């Protein structure tokens, strides 16, 4: 009976040693392979449409930030990220944009990389695209995706796109939040709302109370326009500009 107990204790000890070694091996592997990916704030936040047209006319440069998150531990030093410009991009680095430091700073689990956008003449007539991917650097491997191992799938957290122009295009937030206040989009309507409200930055939505006030302002301005010119304001589709 004593021998059986000794055998049982020995087996339990070996099992604990084996489990501990597996845990250490797993932790070591995890620490040896830190990863990084684009941190998305929403289901569709893997791209942005930027235009200089709704900014101050004197602005010739602006900065967007790529938000990144790591998998693994923070480090006591700055670490480099490898951003790959896809061949499908039409923007030219050094002409249309430049990157800031490609770093995850010391002690950070989340960080942001600046992208400097440059306004030039070609943006008046065309849009250019910046399609980015995350590659392997000396410090990070590409992180996970929303689609398992399919790194090229739509929604991948290893890809991010910027479409830029100097034309008054439909802002990303229109169909998500502005449509319930302003109705369907038209370029003339949007320009009129900008001129009435004085708001030029529409990369994020104003508070609901502010939007309600803008609607009231715009409706009053449209009525004033109609009284002054004897006809309603028409958009590029020859339709009267109205708000809900």
Would residue 235 count as lying in a domain? no
Instruction: Check residue 145 and give its pLDDT.
Output: 67
On whether both 44 and 159 belong to a single domain, the answer is yes
On whether both 151 and 209 belong to a single domain, the answer is no
Instruction: Check residue 45 and give its pLDDT.
Output: 66
Nearest 5°: the CA angle 15, 16, 21 is: 100
Instruction: Check residue 15 and give its pLDDT.
Output: 54
The answer, yes or no, to whether residue 17 has pLDDT greater than 80, is no
Q: What is the mean pLDDT of residues 14-23?
A: 54
The answer, yes or no, to whether residue 196 has pLDDT greater than 50, is yes
Of 143, 165, 187, which closes a domain? 165
Instruction: Check residue 82 and give its pLDDT.
Output: 96
On whether both 211 and 129 belong to a single domain, the answer is no
| Host domain of residue 225 | 174-229
On whether both 210 and 135 belong to a single domain, the answer is no
The answer, yes or no, to whether residue 130 has pLDDT greater than 80, is yes
Q: What is the mean pLDDT of residues 84-98?
A: 96
Question: Cα separation of 215 and 244, whole Å?
Answer: 9
On whether both 114 and 12 belong to a single domain, the answer is no
Instruction: Check residue 14 and give its pLDDT.
Output: 58
pLDDT tens track for 141-188: 998 766 544 444 444 789 999 999 998 888 888 988 999 999 999 989
Q: What is the mean pLDDT of residues 74-93?
A: 96
On whether both 78 and 39 belong to a single domain, the answer is yes
32 pLDDT tier (thresholds 50, 70, 90):
low
Question: Which carries the bigger pLDDT value, residue 204 or residue 121?
Answer: 121
Would residue 137 count as lying in a domain? yes
The answer, yes or no, to whether residue 1 has pLDDT greater than 80, is no
Would residue 53 count as lying in a domain? yes
The domain total for the chain is: 3
On whether both 58 and 139 belong to a single domain, the answer is yes
On whether both 113 and 42 belong to a single domain, the answer is yes
Range 76-91 burial, b when 16+ CB lie within 10 A, else e: eeebebbbeeeeebeb
Report the chain's mean pLDDT, rounded to a whole number.
Answer: 84
Instruction: Check residue 144 and give its pLDDT.
Output: 75
Instruction: Check residue 211 and give its pLDDT.
Output: 95
On whether both 133 and 224 belong to a single domain, the answer is no
Instruction: Check residue 42 and give its pLDDT.
Output: 56
On whether both 149 and 45 belong to a single domain, the answer is yes
Return the top range by mean pLDDT from 27-31, 115-119, 167-171.
Answer: 115-119
Question: Cα separation of 22 and 233, whole Å?
Answer: 72
On whether both 83 and 58 belong to a single domain, the answer is yes
Q: pTM score, two decimals?
A: 0.67
Would residue 239 count as lying in a domain? no
Task: Tell me the percentage of the chain whose pLDDT exceeds 70.
Answer: 80
Q: Which residues contact 139 (CB under 8 A, 6 or more apart)?
A: 34, 75, 79, 80, 81, 104
On whether both 25 and 110 belong to a single domain, the answer is no
Sign of CA dihedral 234, 235, 238, 240: negative
Instruction: Check residue 219 and give its pLDDT.
Output: 96
CB 123 within 8 A of CB 165: yes
Strand boundaries in 94-215, DSSP class E: 97-99, 103-104, 110-118, 128-135, 141-142, 159-165
- What tokens does 64 get? 């967007």
pLDDT tens track for 38-70: 987 654 467 888 888 877 778 899 999 999 999
């Amino acid at each position: 009976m004593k021998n059986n107990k000794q055998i049982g204790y020995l087996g339990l000890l070996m099992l604990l040693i084996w489990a501990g070694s597996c845990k250490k091996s797993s932790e070591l592997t995890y620490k040896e392979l830190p990863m990084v990916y684009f941190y998305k704030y929403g289901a569709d936040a893997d791209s942005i449409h930027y235009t200089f047209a709704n900014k101050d006319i004197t602005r010739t440069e602006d900065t967007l930030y790529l938000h990144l998150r790591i998998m693994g531990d923070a480090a006591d030093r700055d670490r480099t990220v490898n951003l790959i410009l896809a061949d499908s991009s039409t923007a030219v680095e050094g002409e249309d944009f430049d990157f800031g430091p490609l770093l995850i700073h010391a002690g950070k689990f989340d960080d942001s990389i600046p992208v400097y956008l440059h306004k030039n003449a070609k943006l008046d007539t065309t849009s250019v695209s910046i399609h980015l991917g995350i590659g392997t650097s000396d410090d990070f491997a590409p992180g996970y995706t929303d689609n398992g191992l399919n790194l090229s799938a739509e929604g991948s957290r290893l890809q991010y796109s910027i479409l830029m122009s100097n034309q008054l295009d439909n802002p990303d937030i229109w169909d998500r939040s502005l449509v319930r206040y302003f109705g369907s989009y038209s370029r003339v309507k949007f320009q009129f709302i900008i001129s009435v409200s004085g708001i030029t930055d529409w990369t994020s939505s104003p508070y609901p109370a502010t939007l309600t006030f803008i609607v009231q302002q715009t409706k009053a301005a449209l009525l004033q326009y109609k009284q002054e010119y004897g006809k309603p304001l028409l958009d590029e589709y020859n339709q009267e500009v109205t708000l809900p």
